[in-house]
Amino acid sequence: MSTEVKTGPRERLLEAAATLTYRDGVGIGIDALCKAAGVSKRSMYQLFESKDELLAASLEERAAAFIATLLPEAGDGRSPRARTLHVFEQVERQAGAPEFRGCRYLSVQIELKDRNHPASQVAHRVKSQLTAFFRTEAEQGGAADPDLLARQLSLVFDGASARAGIGVDSLPGLITPTVAALLDAADVR
């Protein structure tokens, strides 16, 4: 008796959308998505109103895991400085993987350009969560201007992720000292 769990067409479409759009971009066609998922176009349109809706649902499904892999656990006893550095250590670790293409949420926003696109809205919300984390840690760490520091940290996160994602920079030895310098300048403990 097999213990393998069969996934349904919806799950296969979500997985295909996540995999193919991360690797090839949001311009991937419906035919390629359906072929990769082993689902007919008719079935796809029965499950999702449009490719846009499929892409948004795929991003939404992965949002919690994305945040969980980056952020430290609440109340872990570390200082705000250490908690902030933890995020960038995770990015550095992820960037070492050969399949790393940068932050999928940033990529979607850049590729789509349309802030009203359903996938852009999901990506914006996820990226806002990360900035809010930085702001909270900056405030708790004693930064004079937590909003500015949070925006600066988001800028470093996105820039480092993008540069590593396109293979023009290696993050070890670059990202942690950069973030540490920002934290030092803001006197975050």
Q: What is the CATH number of the domain that holds 102?
A: 1.10.357.10
Residues 6+ apart with CB under 8 A from 44: 9, 13, 30, 33, 34, 37, 54
Domain count across the chain: 1
153 within 8 A of 180, measured Cβ to Cβ: no
**pTM for the full predicted model:** 0.92
Closest to 148 in 3D by CA, of 135, 137, 157, 159: 135
67 within 8 A of 129, measured Cβ to Cβ: yes
Closest to 125 in 3D by CA, of 74, 82, 80, 62: 62
86 within 8 A of 72, measured Cβ to Cβ: yes
| Local mean pLDDT, 10-residue blocks, the chain (189 residues) | 71 97 95 97 96 97 96 95 97 93 96 95 97 98 98 98 92 94 96
pLDDT digits (tens, 9 = 90+) for 40-63: 999 999 999 999 999 999 999 999
Q: Is residue 65 part of a domain?
A: yes
Q: Is residue 22 part of a domain?
A: no
Tokens of 118: 């359903």
Closest to 21 in 3D by CA, of 136, 94, 109: 109
pLDDT of residue 1: 52
pLDDT of residue 179: 98
Q: Is residue 36 part of a domain?
A: no
Q: Can you tell me the distance from the alpha carbon of 138 to that of 146, in angstroms, rounded to the nearest whole number?
A: 5
Q: Is residue 10 part of a domain?
A: no
Q: b/e string for 132-163 if b means 16 or more Cβ within 10 A?
A: ebbbebbbbbebeebeebbebbbebbbebbbb
pLDDT of residue 3: 53
Q: Is residue 11 part of a domain?
A: no
Q: Give the structural domain span for 60.
A: 51-185
Distance of CA 138 to the CA centre of its chain: 21
pLDDT of residue 36: 97
